[in-house]
Amino acid sequence: MDQKARSILKARTVLAQGHGAGDSVTRALIPPVHVSTTFLRDADNGYESGFVYGRTDNATVRQVESVLATLEGAVDAKLFGSGMAAATAVFLALDKPTHVIASEVIYWGFREWLVDIGRYGGHSVSFVDTSDLDAVARAVRPGETGIFWIETPSNPLWTITDIAAIADIAHAAGALLCVDSTVSTPIITRPIEFGADIVVHSATKYLNGHSDVIAGAVVAARDSALWENIHVVRGHLGAIVGPFEAWLLLRGMRTLEVRLREQCRSASRLAQLLVSQDAVASVLYPGLKTHIGHDVAAHQMDGMFGGMLSIRLRGGEAAAIRVASRVEVWKRATSFGGVESLIEHRSSIEGVGTPCPSDLLRLSTGLEDPDDLFEDLVQALAR
């Protein structure tokens, strides 16, 4: 099936079949893992197969990239050894230093890296509440601003940024718009449809879904010199994901749509139930109609509002830490997007300078029964 034919299939079908199940040699239903690091040359010393060396390319990796590009409506996708490797490759591929406008609340590890590149990479970074379009417009430096980097919903405050509106501001300034869409995945939001130029994922999270693979991805709306540079950077740094990890990632992605739909359903139910708990000061979830960004979220999120939410506790930091220590069904662990439900006190993890309130607990719903998850939280809150 060619790319055009694939593009009209529903995401669930694309994922289930993974762009070509089967092996042409054995007729096995499941595609093989291609682990070779080197490839035979042709008689004329060329490489008719298109594969030269494992550090720069791999057939198993290509299959996953093809699926992801189709899901995003993109021209191409590149897999990396981690989400951080993917995100940083965008900046390492730039021809020259630039001014960056970034969401105030983004993945903490990448936020720290952006601060660091301002110190030694020549870039300058302005962190802005990107849900405030006026503030974003004021942050633009004509002739200097080259990249807008947004994360929506923002983790863990779940602020919603209007992708299309930011795309207009970015493109009017002659800048690129990059969107970290790890939380939404292409099942919920396809940023390219709203004007994004680059989309980044930590594939470790929902795309894989089983907490057993570290990987990342960069997706491009169109071919460009920057996109070619990103490919070169990946090869030079040896940042490609391993073939077995890519195979595991593809296996995880095949159930992405059905997993995520259930996780979103559970998160929505929990958000509605937790609003009425006396110990809970507020519930942060864009699916609630009281959420300030709900209308924008309803427009750019495809009928689902994500599998994560946060709660802020009336008892402050001490209460939040106590609740996290007393749950039994929820697991106290970093990361999100897996089949197990995770709870975390983010501000103590992120440390000094975090924009995360100290009374906040981040909840990542897995595939457990939502009633069991709720009752576990209730008993922890009551104690």
Task: Supply the residues annotated as catalytic.
Answer: 55, 107, 180, 205
Strand-strand pairing, 331-332 and 198-202? unpaired
335 CB contacts (<8 Å, ≥6 apart)? 204, 205, 211, 342, 364
Q: Map tokens 């920057």 to a residue.
A: 226
Instruction: Tell me the C-alpha distance between 182 and 222, whole Å.
Output: 20
Q: Indicate the DSSP class of residue 238.
A: T
C-beta neighbour count of 204 within 10 angstroms? 24
Q: Is the link from the previous residue into 186 a cis peptide, with omega within 30 of 0?
A: no
The 3-state secondary structure of 46-70, one letter per residue: CCCCCCCECCCCCHHHHHHHHHHHH
Instruction: Tell me the C-alpha distance between 325 and 225, whole Å.
Output: 50
Q: Quick one: tokens of 223?
A: 């071919």
Q: Map tokens 């509440």 to a residue.
A: 129
Q: Quick one: tokens of 173?
A: 């300034």
- CB 234, CB 218: distance < 8 Å: no
Q: Indicate the DSSP class of residue 20.
A: S
CA angle 255, 261, 263 (to 5 degrees): 95
**R_g over Cα of the chain:** 21
- CB 337, CB 206: distance < 8 Å: yes
- CB 184, CB 139: distance < 8 Å: no
Instruction: Tell me the C-alpha distance between 209 and 214, whole Å.
Output: 11
Q: Is the link from the previous residue into 191 a cis peptide, with omega within 30 of 0?
A: no
Q: Quick one: tokens of 348?
A: 């103590």
